[in-house]
Amino acid sequence: MRVAVYYNNKDVRIEEREIPTINEDEILVKVIASGICGTDVMEWYRIKKAPLVLGHEISGIIEKAGKNVKNFKAGDRVFVSHHVPCMKCHYCLNNHHTACETLHKTNFDPGGFSEYIRIPKINVEFGTFKLHENISFDEGTFIEPLGTVIRAQRLANLKENQTLLVIGSGISGLMHINLAKSKNVRKIVAVDINEYRLDAAKKLGADDSISASDDVISKLKNLNDGRLADLVIVCTGALSAAKQALNCVDKGGTILFFAVPKPDESFEIPINDFWRNEIKIMTSYGAAPDDLIESIELIKNKKINLNAMITHRLKFDEIQKGFNLVAEAKESLKVIVEPNK
C-alpha cells in the first residue's frame, strides 16, 4: 500500500509498505478521506519524531474485522479517533479524559495518510463510530476536530449572552465561530492577519472581524458597547496572539488557549490585574468519546456548515501540495487528501 511519510513540511514522500496485519480484536480500515490538520504542519513539534506517517482526521470503510469484533463488520462506513482514553484512570473518572496517559499513547497504524490503517483493540472499543448515512466521508474528517472545539467551548462555559472573540481564523477558529453561531451567542468577533480568512469568518457566523494589524482593543470596544470580550479563544500559536488575548478579555471573563506558543516562548501575565477582576485563564486539548458523539450528532443534523470550509480535495500523490497549502495558511481552509485516489 502507499503511505505518505513526513520528513518535514517540505518533504512528504509517497512510499510503499505492507498492508498491516490485524489480530482477532482489531479492524483494518480503507481510508477514503483524511484531513490535514494544523498540528500536522507544526514543524517544531513534528520534526523531532520524523520520519513518520501522520494523519488523524480520517473516515473510511472497514476492509476486515477480527473474529472477536462484535459491533463492526467489513463494509461499515466509519470514523476512527486516533487518541482514546482508558476510561478508568483518575483523570478519566474526573472528566479530564484528554489528560489520560493512555490517550497520549494510543494511535492507529501507521497513520491516516495511508491507504489502509490497523485499528488497535482499544481504539475499536472507544474510538470507532459508524458514519450515519447523512454524513459524507469528507464531513467525517471533521468529527475529531469539531469534537475538540465542542470540548473547549463546554469547558469555557460559553453562554448566549456573551461576546466571543476568536483570535485566529484558520479552520479551528472557523469551527469555533460556526459552533458559537449555532448556539446563538450574542456577538462573535474574529481576528486574523489574513483577509481571506476574515472573509471566511464573516461567512461562517462572525458578526464582525478585525485585522490583527489594527488597534484590536479599540475596535473591539467600539463593536461591543465599550466592553472587551467575555471569552477569548486563541486559535493560533503565534506569540503575538497569546499576548494580545491578555488585553482583550473583560472583567470576569475567560481566556482559553486552544492553541499555544512554542515551548521555548513565554510571556508575562498581569496576574494582579487578573486577580482583582476575576479573570480566568484556561486550556483545552483534544476530545473525549462523549465530545465525538456530540460532534457526530451535530454533523448528522447539519447544525455546522462544514462543506463551506472545504477548499481543497487532493489525490494522494498531491499530498505535498496539501502540506504546502496548510503550512502557508494563505488561501486555504480545510484540505482533504484521498489516499485511495
Q: Which domain holds residue 168?
A: 157-283
In a domain, 143, yes or no: yes
Same domain, 142 and 254: no
* C-beta pairs of 330-333 under 8 Å, 24+ apart in sequence: 330/194, 330/196, 331/196, 333/170, 333/171, 333/174, 333/197, 333/200, 333/309
> Of 239, 256, 283, which residue sits at a domain end?
283
Same domain, 333 and 261: no
Burial class (CB in 10 A: 0-12, 13-18, 19+), 196: middle
Q: How far apart are CA 74 and CA 221, in angstroms?
A: 56
Q: How many CB atoms lie within 10 A of CB 10?
A: 10
- Residue 90 C-alpha cell reads as 483518575
pTM of the full structure: 0.96
What pLDDT tens digit does each residue of the chain (341 aa) get?
Answer: 999 999 999 999 999 999 999 999 999 999 999 999 999 999 988 999 999 999 999 999 999 999 999 999 999 999 999 999 999 999 999 999 999 999 999 999 999 999 999 999 999 999 999 999 999 999 999 999 999 999 999 999 999 999 999 999 999 999 999 999 999 999 999 999 999 999 999 999 999 999 999 999 999 999 999 999 999 999 999 999 999 999 999 999 999 999 999 999 999 999 999 999 999 999 999 999 999 999 999 999 999 999 999 999 999 999 999 999 999 999 999 999 999 99
In a domain, 94, yes or no: yes
Same domain, 135 and 167: no
- Residue 131 C-alpha cell reads as 458514519
Is the Cα torsion angle 199, 303, 179, 236 positive or negative in sign? Answer: negative
Return all residues near 23 (Cβ < 8 A) that are at least 6 apart: 66, 121
**Domain with 218 in it: what CATH number?**
3.40.50.720
Same domain, 57 and 130: yes
Same domain, 60 and 106: yes
Same domain, 269 and 310: no
The answer to whether the CB of 204 falls within 8 A of the CB of 178 is yes
In a domain, 185, yes or no: yes
Q: How far apart are CA 85 and CA 268, in angstroms?
A: 33
> What integer pLDDT is reported at residue 44 of this predicted model?
87
Same domain, 214 and 314: no
Same domain, 96 and 32: yes
In 3D space, the residue among 328, 291, 298 whose CA is nearest the CA of residue 311 turns out to be 328
Max CA distance (Å), the chain: 63
In a domain, 152, yes or no: no
Same domain, 142 and 200: no
> What integer pLDDT is reported at residue 190 of this predicted model?
98
In 3D space, the residue among 57, 56, 53 whose CA is nearest the CA of residue 20 turns out to be 53
Same domain, 246 and 272: yes
> What integer pLDDT is reported at residue 45 of this predicted model?
87
